[in-house]
Structure 1
Amino acid sequence: MFLATGCSLTRKLKEHQALVRKITVKGVDKEFAEAAPTFVDKQEQPNNWINLNLYYMFSHDGKKDVGEPPAILDTQLVEYSRQQIERFLQNKGYLKAKVTDSIAVKKKKAHLYFTAVEGPMFRIRRITDSILDPSVRGLYRNNRNNFSHIQPGGRYDTDSLAYDRDEFFQVMKRNGYYDFYRQYINYSVDTAFDNSVADVRMIIGNPEGKKKHPIYTINNTLVTISASNGRTDGKADTLQVDSQFRFVDYSHSFKPKVVTNYVFQKKGDIYNIDKQTLTTSRLSELNVFRNVPNPNYEKKGDSTNKLNMQIDITPLKKMSDRVEGEFIFNNGRYGYNVGNTFTNRNLFKSAAILQVKLNWSVLFDNGNNNINDNGVENQEFKTGVSLTYPRLITPFSVPTLGEYGVPHTTFSSNYSLFYQKGLVTRKSFVNSLTYDFAETAHKLHTFTPIDIEFSSGVIDPAARDSLEKNGRDAYLRLIGRTIFTVGSQYTYQVNADMLNSYGSFTYFKGSVDVGGNTMSLVTNALNTSRDSIGARTLLGHAFSQYVRGEADLRIYRGFGNEKQFVFRINPGIGIPYGNSSQMVFEKEFYAGGANDMRAWLPRTLGPGQFNRASYGVGLVGDDLRQRLKYLDQFGEIKIIGNAEYRYKIADNFFGSKLKGAFFTDFGNIWRLKETSDNPRGEFKLNNLWQSTAIGIGTGLRFDLTYFVFRLDAAFKFKDPQFDGADQWVLIQHFNELFHNHDFKNNYYQTNGESYNFMQLNFGIGLPF
């Protein structure tokens, strides 16, 4: 599109106009060389090439807000920018700094030059204070070393003085000084220009007419809940809860404890701005109130220095319904996924959230299938009900763990029905009780003490005959067996709250899933019967016994301007033991899809070097190969890694930020041991590289603030189902990227399906 509209950035300028294309700042210390150009006025900053072309293409006469307008040279703004750079250097300790400017224009393109003569850098010689209130003086001196950015011998920096002012203001607000303002804090600076030193004194005066700053304590609290339309008229539910709280509810929808449990300023406590913020944050996290404001305070009106607190909140609509859908396609395969979520945000007047979810997905083929002549390959229907309470519900008393986040107790039941035409119908039913709570602002715990799962499969009779004739007994047991288990799960996360930031940090998520141990003890004690493969049964059904662990480690490194590099490693292992010879189908690992190995369709990679051609044409026959065409490829071991560089392309692309990414994905899944069902699929250290897949690609992200819409194009680079140099498919067969020649034709003959080098992935949110 850009080539079609012309590449000249000055093509729409008037005769007397010039476009600012470059800024050079000279004579600035290395420490501030990067920051100094940012003080040039925004309208004089050189345009991003893409942003400007988007503006030329779509924003005719400024009628649309797409891209960014051209940075037209304006000498008044250049002078203003010179003053800003000079002031910046003076604020950084170069009190004698002077900046000059010049402009060079060639072919309507302007180059701005700013030349600084910094002079000597002033350092702080002495720091003293003059604080009249002895209590405030003690508070300052006891806390100064914890926050101060100004020290004797350090560079004189007015930004550091402002930082210290703000930090001590917060200290005062945490210690009861409700009436304290920043304006009470001033600095006196005495500079000796000949010696390039500065003496700094912090001065804090008293309120006018008073000998000290008053300390306030919390008195009574009035909680007012309006109707959902914001009105506070008519009859209200009114209750005096205790000596502190009076509860007035015009919505008639809440119990007092919903609010009072998360008010962290109690009667008799000194005023603390952190607890005020904490109260607002936790009430917002309940997800039942709209735009929770900070509490209001009113002085009692006597000499006791007490504050009456008032919390005014408006509930969200109690009921909501959301419909979601997505469409997928790849070389003749296409399908859709439609879901509906109904939410009741305040069940039992206790801020308990009830969600009922329905989901239906269908995958079609292009009709070249002798088993599924109507084109439908598989369908899956899911339904689930969850009830989440904003507290921990246990048989014993526990404190309200709300300092770092609202804890939750979730009861859930989920049912799924999967139908693969010509192969299997599987049903699963899962019931669980889950607790989640925050240990700190960055550490989250999720514990599921009870997880009861029941699954069964009914195999198509023709498919069963084919599988039995060709020795695929493991498949029969995996997808056609009825089994249940009772287990427990635990997950620990670090820095999950930082995942949407552009800084540098490390994220970790680790989980452990253990099942069947209690059932093993019971069945062994009762000496229950065994099934045909020797597994203990209870009530006529075998149970699964296993341990499964998974980790997700990510290293984020930010480079400014919304640029970021992310490295991720995601290993996992599942080990069946005791009553189980293999994992439950739902507990196996899979690879492929929009969030890990993006060059492969979901559940089509691995295990190891397994190749579907091993089913053979003459040995097994077209019928079985076709029936197993979409059977999930699974393993008990997973190692997936990703490296992704993210960057900003345009600030304004039809109301969104346009961002890009380059990425590589590597890894695979493996079987724990050699099996006849997946030849060459077992995990071996000496074959780890040979059995590792690699994908590369690029993508676009449309950042709409509330969510990110993502499009990734991923290419298979190294495919482990082949051997030797043939694994490097993109290099060896680049000429067949978008055309069919010998490689693709041969693959179709041996595997019964087309080989696709490229996979497009549409998604909501970042992949990780």
Structure 2
Amino acid sequence: MTPSIPCKQLLRLPVLSLLLLVLLVSGCNVTKYVPEGDALFVDYSVKVVGEDASTKRDQNLEAELARVVKPEPNTSFLGLYPKLWIYNTFYTEKDKGIKNWIQTKFGEEPVLLSEVDTSALNEIMSNRLHNRGYFNNNIQSNAIVENQKAVINWAAFIGEPYTIRNIEYTLVEPDSLPARRDVPVYRDIQQTREGSLLETGTPYNLRTMIAERARIDSILKSEGYYYFSPDLLIFSVDSLIGDRQVDVLLRIKSSAPRRALHPYKIDDVYIFANYSLGDSLSVADTIDYKGYHYIPNENYVRARHLLRGVFLEQDSLYTRQDVLLTTNRLLGLPAYKYVNVEFERDNLKNHMLDAYIYLTPALKKALRAEIKYVRKTNNFAGPGLSVSFRNRNAFKGSELLTVEGTARFETQVGGRSAGDAPEGVPVAGNNSLNSYELGIQAGITIPRIVSPFNLPNLRTLYVPTTAIAAGFNLLSRVEFFRMNSYNASYGYSWRPKQTLTHEISPINLQYVRLSNVTEAFSEILETQPYLLRSFRNQFIIGPVYELTYTTQVFPERTHQVFNHLTIDVSGNVVSGIQSLLGAAPPTAEEPRTLLGQPYSQYSLFLNDFRYYWNITEESQLVARLVAGAGFTYGNSTVLPYVKQFSIGGPNSIRAFRARSIGPGTYNVPDEYAFAYFDQLGDIKLESNLEYRFPIAGFFKGAVFVDAGNIWLMDEARDNEGQEKPQFDPNTFLSEIAVGTGFGLRVDVDFFVVRFDVGIPVRVPYLPKGDRFVLGDFNGKFNGENGMLLNIAIGYPF
């Protein structure tokens, strides 16, 4: 038997941490501000009691009834009440001050038994059961109070649910005029019966009937019935036929307006292309273009570009789908901030509608500057300046023009060493590994497919785009080299449905040129042919395809997935053309060239899969699996340095610094650990498991396990002659690095600041038998088996 310790004695015991003290004390005074004669509402239960086992057909019935209990008890964790403890500890009657801020921001006032209206809740539960076909039900509640703490137990006594015997779409009331029986809506509703949600023999359910009304209305809205609504449909239920059965009758209200009973077509379409609230709606300055009335002129967005997003056509049947399609496509144009579509009956033509599309422009030009402290995944950190210019309507076609310039100065702040070159290692003159980066990138996103072929306008809710970009980047590692990178691309993006996005860049060109190589870095390259070839001047030319599938667009789902596939291919087209022209086969020493420079030839595949289990509204279990591989052939024997994989860091395996693992069991010599050049690979395998939970207010917590490594396709050696092993399917599992840890996140509406503490569990570069290091954990932020603090913006995945 575990001895009980009074709360006062707990306060005298030594504690290991402030957190433990808070948790212990939180159980001592939770009823401190509970009035005499009242009790703290701490828990409740709902039990459904049926006549026989068949009532188990609906396992969610108890959960549905439990959801009506309001107010809910105070937030608890392992039987403790941290929020309530904060409220009681910092309680004040003042409306301002630090105590009031803590009390209201992080605390939670006690939920009292007197606030729970059991009579009203009993009635709500009874109505919920009635709506599910349990017409004969009885709800009872019982409150148990002990030590000023109350638990309420509900019992719902039910019989078998009533089932549907017959379904009739009578539609017309008995006293309706014969003329009303001939209107089109009755015929069209009868034709919807094949897909009815109501079935004979199934339990009566009010929700199903409401959904059936919405289904019929949705079908009618696609057949021209602009003025129809679900409220015009009435279900009558006869429950007196006996044997727990009901007959269901569907009819239209006799008071339904005549205009709701006829389909409508679209007559004139007016487009106000530069509208703002309060503008006069005069149509005097109108351009007629392809049957549309374009107001006032083309000084903002040209009609021929805008009309690719308009799917309302003259003399076409009104459909809600076309309205939603038009609204979404126009909202997807950068030039506009708001879109509103309205309809009015044409007074001169029967059953015709005039459409009015009001487009409110967004701010056309914007200039933005940011001064920030940047910490990259390769553990370089320092101040940075970013200046960007945006024009949301660059050429009167809602094209988004962006120009961004960046400048950063960075210093190596992490690694297996302190970041300083060891004594005896040649450097260019400074013993710290500094870096600066300058770049400029310009791009234009065109909200349509620009192609030499005449392609049809895609009927999707999302705007297909064409993206053209070009840029230059200069990276200078002061002690080693300067790398100039030029890039240009031309590609398309389209989203055929909400969950799927395709991006393809048939033209993707990058030229990487190494310059200002220091003597120290030259010595490293001379002893490592593998590294030399990855750093050589070269073209990277070829298509890139990306496919994204996600169900996170449905936030109400308990289970969500995200998958991003990247296929990056370089050099195949150029090599094929040169082969047809009779060029000599390439070799490692004499590769084929383009404009006098070698080009890379490879195929790279990378897949990022994530699974999200939303356990509660604020707690979540997330799993991720990343797998990638790059294959070189023909003109290349090594992937370009900028395309190789690395692992470790705040968004990867958080118990290890960036680029400090692999390839395989490779252990970088201490004298070169500060450089981070060797630890790259052709194959990557990584998995993560993270549980996220709320703490208080905008403070969130997490516990995680990370695992993975990188490998080479072929064996290589470093400048010390140490082997960097290739991937072996028989041994790779024994070379997986594993880390665990916990995190604190400050999650406000517009950003997340993340603090993750990583603890190494398995270190692959140690000798076999010594790789599991959790037993040697020192509990400090230094040493070989110490903790690692990762500070980052946003969630890791």
Q: State yes or no: 1:47 paired with 2:75.
A: yes
Greater alpha carbon shift after TM alignment, 493-502 vs 92-101: 493-502
Offset of 1:756 from its aligned partner? 5.4
- The aligned counterpart of 1:749 is none
Q: In 2, are the aligned partners of 1:44 and 1:72 still within 8 Å (CA)? A: no
Offset of 1:602 from its aligned partner? 2.9
Offset of 1:529 from its aligned partner? 11
- The aligned counterpart of 1:684 is 728
Change (3 A) 1:102 1:320: same
Q: State yes or no: 1:596 paired with 2:691.
A: no
Offset of 1:337 from its aligned partner? 4.8
Q: In 1, are the aligned partners of 2:539 and 2:594 still within 8 Å (CA)? A: no
Offset of 1:635 from its aligned partner? 0.8
Q: Which of 515, 528, 533 is equivalent to 1:477?
A: 533
Q: State yes or no: 1:203 paired with 2:233.
A: no
Deviations 1:559-598 (Å, cap 9, x if unpaired)? Answer: 3434433332221111111111211111211222333323
Offset of 1:375 from its aligned partner? 4.1
CA distance in 1, matches of 2:741, 2:338: 41
Greater alpha carbon shift after TM alignment, 182-191 vs 10-19: 10-19
Q: In 1, are the aligned partners of 2:552 and 2:562 still within 8 Å (CA)? A: no
CA distance in 2, matches of 1:251, 1:98: 68
Change (3 A) 1:252 1:303: closer
Q: State yes or no: 1:763 paired with 2:796.
A: no
Q: State yes or no: 1:217 paired with 2:217.
A: no
Q: In 2, are the aligned partners of 1:282 and 1:402 still within 8 Å (CA)? A: no
Greater alpha carbon shift after TM alignment, 372-381 vs 595-604: 372-381
Offset of 1:492 from its aligned partner? 2.0
CA distance in 2, matches of 1:547, 1:198: 65
- The aligned counterpart of 2:543 is 488
Offset of 1:234 from its aligned partner? 11
Question: 1:454 is matched by which residue type in structure 2?
Answer: Y
Offset of 1:214 from its aligned partner? 1.1
Greater alpha carbon shift after TM alignment, 46-55 vs 425-434: 46-55
- The aligned counterpart of 1:401 is 458
- The aligned counterpart of 1:667 is 708
Q: In 2, are the aligned partners of 1:593 and 1:600 still within 8 Å (CA)? A: yes
- The aligned counterpart of 2:215 is 167
Q: State yes or no: 1:14 paired with 2:42.
A: no
Q: State yes or no: 1:287 paired with 2:327.
A: no
Change (3 A) 1:533 1:181: same
1:640-655 mapped onto 2 (5 Å cutoff): 640-650=686-696, 653=697
Q: State yes or no: 1:266 paired with 2:313.
A: yes
Offset of 1:630 from its aligned partner? 3.1
Q: Which of 102, 105, 114 is equivalent to 2:145?
A: 105
Deviations 1:415-455 (Å, cap 9, x if unpaired)? Answer: 22112222221111110001011233322211111111100
Unaligned residue ranges in structure 2 (runs of 5+):
1-17, 50-54, 173-180
CA distance in 2, matches of 1:578, 1:529: 8
CA distance in 2, matches of 1:633, 1:281: 46
1:85-484 mapped onto 2 (5 Å cutoff): 85-132=125-172, 135-146=184-195, 148=197, 150-192=198-240, 194-205=242-253, 208=256, 210=258, 213-226=261-274, 230=277, 232=279, 238-242=285-289, 244-249=291-296, 252-293=299-340, 295-324=341-370, 325-328=372-375, 334-361=381-408, 362-365=410-413, 368-369=420-421, 371=427, 373=430, 375-458=432-515, 460-467=517-524, 471-479=527-535, 481-484=536-539
Q: Which of 505, 510, 517 is equivalent to 2:572?
A: 517
Q: In 2, are the aligned partners of 1:336 and 1:363 still within 8 Å (CA)? A: no
Question: 1:451 is matched by which residue type in structure 2?
Answer: N
Greater alpha carbon shift after TM alignment, 411-420 vs 132-141: 132-141
Q: State yes or no: 1:66 paired with 2:88.
A: no
Change (3 A) 1:31 1:368: closer
Deviations 1:336-394 (Å, cap 9, x if unpaired)? Answer: 45534322111111111111223334124468446474745323333211100000000
CA distance in 2, matches of 1:237, 1:728: 80
Q: In 2, are the aligned partners of 1:327 and 1:337 still within 8 Å (CA)? A: yes
CA distance in 1, matches of 2:389, 2:196: 48
Change (3 A) 1:543 1:333: closer
CA distance in 1, matches of 2:467, 2:792: 31
1:531-680 mapped onto 2 (5 Å cutoff): 533-613=589-669, 622=671, 625=672, 629-631=675-677, 633-650=679-696, 653=697, 656=698, 658-677=699-718, 679-680=723-724
Offset of 1:305 from its aligned partner? 0.9
Offset of 1:242 from its aligned partner? 2.7
CA distance in 2, matches of 1:51, 1:497: 30
Offset of 1:195 from its aligned partner? 2.0
Question: 2:756 is matched by which residue type in structure 1?
Answer: D
Q: In 2, are the aligned partners of 1:21 and 1:46 still within 8 Å (CA)? A: yes
Q: In 1, are the aligned partners of 2:328 and 2:461 still within 8 Å (CA)? A: no
Change (3 A) 1:761 1:234: same
CA distance in 2, matches of 1:581, 1:277: 52
Q: In 2, are the aligned partners of 1:238 and 1:246 still within 8 Å (CA)? A: no
Q: Which of 719, 725, 735 is equivalent to 2:778?
A: 735
- The aligned counterpart of 1:23 is 44
Q: In 1, are the aligned partners of 2:567 and 2:605 still within 8 Å (CA)? A: yes
Question: 1:691 is matched by which residue type in structure 2?
Answer: E
TM-score, normalization: structure 2? Answer: 0.84
Greater alpha carbon shift after TM alignment, 698-707 vs 151-160: 698-707
**SS of the counterpart of 1:438?**
strand
Q: In 1, are the aligned partners of 2:647 and 2:661 still within 8 Å (CA)? A: yes
Count of residue pairs the alignment pairs up:
732
Q: In 2, are the aligned partners of 1:237 and 1:250 still within 8 Å (CA)? A: no
Unaligned residue ranges in structure 1 (runs of 5+):
617-621, 745-754
Offset of 1:484 from its aligned partner? 1.0
Q: In 1, are the aligned partners of 2:334 and 2:399 still within 8 Å (CA)? A: no
- The aligned counterpart of 2:64 is 35
CA distance in 2, matches of 1:119, 1:73: 30
Q: In 2, are the aligned partners of 1:478 and 1:585 still within 8 Å (CA)? A: yes
Change (3 A) 1:20 1:600: same
CA distance in 1, matches of 2:614, 2:770: 37
Q: In 1, are the aligned partners of 2:132 and 2:203 still within 8 Å (CA)? A: yes
CA distance in 2, matches of 1:392, 1:118: 60
CA distance in 2, matches of 1:485, 1:574: 14
Q: In 2, are the aligned partners of 1:385 and 1:413 still within 8 Å (CA)? A: yes
Offset of 1:301 from its aligned partner? 1.2
TM-score, normalization: structure 1? Answer: 0.87
Offset of 1:535 from its aligned partner? 0.8
**SS of the counterpart of 2:504?**
strand
Q: In 1, are the aligned partners of 2:780 and 2:787 still within 8 Å (CA)? A: yes
Deviations 1:195-216 (Å, cap 9, x if unpaired)? Answer: 2221111112466574981111
CA distance in 1, matches of 2:468, 2:512: 19
Q: In 2, are the aligned partners of 1:388 and 1:411 still within 8 Å (CA)? A: yes
CA distance in 1, matches of 2:297, 2:224: 32
Greater alpha carbon shift after TM alignment, 232-241 vs 581-590: 232-241
Offset of 1:319 from its aligned partner? 1.8
Deviations 1:463-497 (Å, cap 9, x if unpaired)? Answer: 1453266x223223322x21113211112222266
**SS of the counterpart of 1:725?**
coil
Offset of 1:708 from its aligned partner? 4.3
Change (3 A) 1:449 1:209: closer
Deviations 1:5-59 (Å, cap 9, x if unpaired)? Answer: 9413222333344221111223356431112111112x24443434444555678
